[in-house]
Amino acid sequence: MPEITFAIRPEYGAPYCLADDPRMQTLGNWMTTDISIYKSVCLDALATVADAEAGRPTEPWDSDNYEVHFSSSAMSFQNKWVETTHGEYTITEAREAIEDYWRFLVSIPDNPDLIREFRPDLPEWQADLLQWEDSWKRPHPYRGKLF
């Protein structure tokens, strides 16, 4: 699979991506805008792709900017505001890209000035994982795989 490189724009604190393949650039753009820097949203994306790949029903993807659909074989999206921004990917392509994006997000150091109410004793990603599991009342499908 062609590589997508992720980074943070220091002047804005916002993620961006670069890919040689325009198709993968579009997928990267979806992740950097819809998931952004939020590990909890990336946990949702990972769970959705895992559930879809396993043939389990998935929750509708909630987004202000995109209509996103997951099935056992594919993931597709359409930007609600820009008609030409859309993509369709195999579920394997989507899974691998979202896994890479998770690795990127957890590599970003936690903000030491951020005051967190839920489990401030843990790294942010671990607290988000516990909160995700508490909210959904199940172990995250990636527990034991990526974390």
Identify the pLDDT of residue 136: 95
Judge whether 92 and 74 are in contact, CB under 8 Å: no
Identify the pLDDT of residue 13: 87
| Cα 116 → chain centroid | 21
Identify the pLDDT of residue 91: 96
Q: Quote the DSSP letter at residue 59.
A: P
Judge whether 31 and 17 are in contact, CB under 8 Å: yes
Identify the pLDDT of residue 113: 85
Identify the pLDDT of residue 2: 60
Q: For residue 106, what is the enclosing H or E element?
A: helix 91-107
Judge whether 101 and 49 are in contact, CB under 8 Å: no
Judge whether 56 and 112 are in contact, CB under 8 Å: no
Question: What CA–CA distance (Å, rounded) separates 36 from 141?
Answer: 21
Q: What residue segments make up the domains of the chain, in order of their start?
A: 4-136
Judge whether 43 and 132 are in contact, CB under 8 Å: yes
> Residues of the chain whose pLDDT is less than 50?
none
